[in-house]
Chain A
Amino acid sequence: MNFLFYTGKRFLQVIPALFGISVAVFLLVHAIPGDPADVILGQTSTPARAKVIHHMLGIDRPVFVQYFSFLGHLFHGSLGTSFYNNDSVTTLIAGRLSATLFLMVGGILLALLISLPLAILAASKEGALRDQAVRVVPIIGLGMPQVWIGIELILLLGLKVHLFPVSGFGDTFLQHLRSSFLPALSIAIGLSPILIRSLRAAMLEILEADFVLTAKAKGIGKSRVMISHVVRNAVIASVTVLGVNIAYLVGSTVIVERVFAIPATGSLMIDAISKRDYPIVQGVTIFFAVVVVVVNLLADLIHASLDPRVAL
């Protein structure tokens, strides 16, 4: 009952944040100088003809009227229509969704694949050589720019040895897999330092917990303790850490898309800003915000339900 209450409370807290974001992005895009009509009309744009286009796009109305119209569409499940393309923003995002998923899911999986074993290794004997060695990784890794990681991967695994394509997304599912490996790995390498640190700390904490000491005292083998209690809790901790860093993950994909020329949602947004295609910018921002907020919420709820220390 308490937990349901907690869920409800957290859910309600999410709504003002989403509202805030919709207002913030709306005001922001309308504050950017530059005229969408100029993009549509090109070089033949004149102030007189731009006015006609403004009316066609509905941007000659007062800003708050436009905002309420935008909200209205949002409540009907529509993210608006692109100024330039006349396609619905939802369709455009959907078209880029598979590439985005390949990058983000691939990035998370590879990050866990790298971080979990290293964190477990380090936590298994605090202060030992292997612990010190693993601890150096975040110290070096946190300073690595995402773009640099990507370019070095291109050089080493794409150009020197032709293991993977260096850019583009391919046409078939298999090509998608091959093309997204390096970008996903790049994201994973960027994420791992943070993950390793947090997971190691979480596992050390668990190892010191009473019940583990009791288990050890009872003579249960260390590896069994590790596997049954520590790793399980570590996975829970991973969820929390990933949840907290989801915004960073979203940001990383923007860079990686540019480095590897992958047409996913990040580049859709950046291109739209250049073209002053307000609906796309607003739509993709809301989409990203919802992803971040939902993932955060889920991570929070999982953590709250499984960690007895959290007061509900």
Chain B
Amino acid sequence: MSSRLRNRPGLIKRLNFSANVALYSGIAIISTLALLAIAAPLISHYDPTGQDLENTLLSPNIHHLLGTDQLGRDVMTRLLYGARIDLAIGVIAVFLPFVIGTTLGLISGWRGGWFDAILMRIVDTTIAFPFYVLAIALVFVVGAGPKAIILAISLVGWVAYCRIIRAAVLVAKELDYVHAAKLSGLPTRRILRRHVLPNVISQAIIFSMSDIVLSILAIVSLGYLGLGVPIPTAEWGSMIQEGQAYILQQWWIPTIPGVMVVITGFGLSLVGDGLVKRLNK
């Protein structure tokens, strides 16, 4: 085990892609979804918010592969454009928590002491605070849209990274070569950056895969509650909300956006699992 940690090949080399079914298939799924989202205007000529009140609630047909919703909008188009919103915000929303949480966890795990004690109390506070109160308040203050969602997710999302990194740092602190680095008088920043961080960052990266899933779930929930991107922009959560009324006759309208989220989650979980196998060999 220690030999694995003694030689520090670069992070990039460690992610060397040899056969790994889970990792590859996950990446394939995610890339396909991203491609579909980006290429939405090329795939469909419909306007995602364009109403056609003569042709509402149509079943899937040759003109509308997934039918139309209650305002005559093409469901497939809205699904593709919705992918843009959910995927993009899902990824962006994870970035700040990753950076902030990792930094704080690094410092907290390394230093301990009063900094750690206070930070852990803040962590406890953040965990117990009801997420929706925060999200709603932010939406009211900042206005509905991606800004409020990202802010809400960031304010609570950093906690998980902080705890993961902190726990990993506590373990890494005890390693021989880290001790050696400390004793040799290297500056703390250098130790953290060159010796500790590469060890622990993989945990954060693995977690970020499932965190993106959690982000997308949060966006979809907020969209369902009417707190996401404002109507009539297409987004999977608001599509589910608007479609709930038609669940009996046109069951696909609220069902398919949910399926898209599941597929996205599936792909990301595969990538996460693959990374776990790869990085914890």
Q: Do chains A and B touch in the complex (CB under 8 A)?
A: yes
State the A residues within 8 Å of B (CB): 13-14, 16-18, 20-21, 24-25, 28-29, 31-34, 138-140, 142-148, 151-152, 154-155, 159, 247, 250-251, 254-255, 258-259, 266, 269-270, 273, 281, 284-285, 288-289, 292-293, 296
With a CB–CB cut-off of 8 A, which chain A residues contact B122? 20
A-B contact pairs, 18 of them (CB 8 A): A21-B129, A28-B133, A32-B140, A139-B270, A144-B261, A144-B262, A145-B224, A145-B240, A147-B240, A151-B254, A155-B247, A159-B247, A159-B248, A254-B130, A254-B132, A255-B225, A270-B132, A273-B133
Q: How far is A142 from B264 in the complex, measured between Cα atoms in Å? A: 10
Q: Is the CB of B240 within 8 A of A289?
A: no
Q: A250-B130, A289-B129 are in contact. Are A143 and B225 (CB under 8 A)?
A: no
Query: How many residue pairs between the two chains, A and B, have CB atoms under 8 Å in the bound complex?
Result: 145
Binds A, one of B35-43, B185-193, B213-221: B213-221
Q: Is the CB of B137 within 8 A of A142?
A: no
Render B80-92 as a binary contact track against A, CB cut-off 8 A, 1 for contact.
Answer: 0000000000000
B206 within 8 A of A: no
B124 within 8 A of A: yes
* B115-133 with Cβ < 8 A to chain A: 120-122, 124-125, 127-133
Q: How far is A247 from B131 in the complex, measured between Cα atoms in Å? A: 9
Q: A13-B124, A17-B124, A20-B121 are in contact. Are A146 and B132 (CB under 8 A)?
A: no
Q: Is the CB of A251 within 8 A of B266?
A: no
Q: Is the CB of A145 within 8 A of B270?
A: no
Which residue from A28, A146, A152 sits with its C-beta under 8 Å from B137?
A28
Q: How far is A255 from B133 in the complex, measured between Cα atoms in Å? A: 13
With a CB–CB cut-off of 8 A, which chain A residues contact B133? 25, 28, 269, 273, 281, 285
Q: Is the CB of A148 within 8 A of B258?
A: yes
Chain A's closest residue to B268 (CB) is A143
With a CB–CB cut-off of 8 A, which chain B residues contact A147? 220-221, 224, 237, 240-241, 258
Q: Is the CB of A31 within 8 A of B137?
A: yes
Q: Given contacts A16-B124, A24-B125, A145-B220, list 10 more A-B pairs with CB under 8 A.
A: A21-B125, A139-B266, A143-B264, A144-B262, A145-B217, A255-B221, A255-B225, A273-B136, A273-B140, A284-B130
Q: How far is A258 from B136 in the complex, measured between Cα atoms in Å? A: 15
Residue among A143, A250, A288 with the most chain B CB within 10 A?
A: A143
Q: How far is A17 from B137 in the complex, measured between Cα atoms in Å? A: 20
Q: How far is A271 from B196 in the complex, measured between Cα atoms in Å? A: 47
B263 within 8 A of A: yes
Q: Is the CB of B134 within 8 A of A28?
A: yes
Q: Is the CB of A144 within 8 A of B258?
A: yes
Q: Is the CB of B269 within 8 A of A145?
A: no
How far is the CB of B252 from the nearest CB of chain A, in Å?
A: 11
With a CB–CB cut-off of 8 A, which chain B residues contact A296? 127-128
Q: Is the CB of B130 within 8 A of A31?
A: no
With a CB–CB cut-off of 8 A, which chain A residues contact B224? 145, 147, 255, 258
Which residue from B210, B220, B255, B262 sits with its C-beta under 8 Å from A140?
B262
Q: Is the CB of B221 within 8 A of A145?
A: yes
With a CB–CB cut-off of 8 A, which chain A residues contact B220? 145, 147-148
Q: A247-B127, A270-B225 are in contact. Are A154 and B121 (CB under 8 A)?
A: no
Which residue from B216, B244, B263, B269 sits with its C-beta under 8 Å from A259?
B244
Chain B's closest residue to A282 (CB) is B133
How far is the CB of B242 from the nearest CB of chain A, in Å?
A: 12
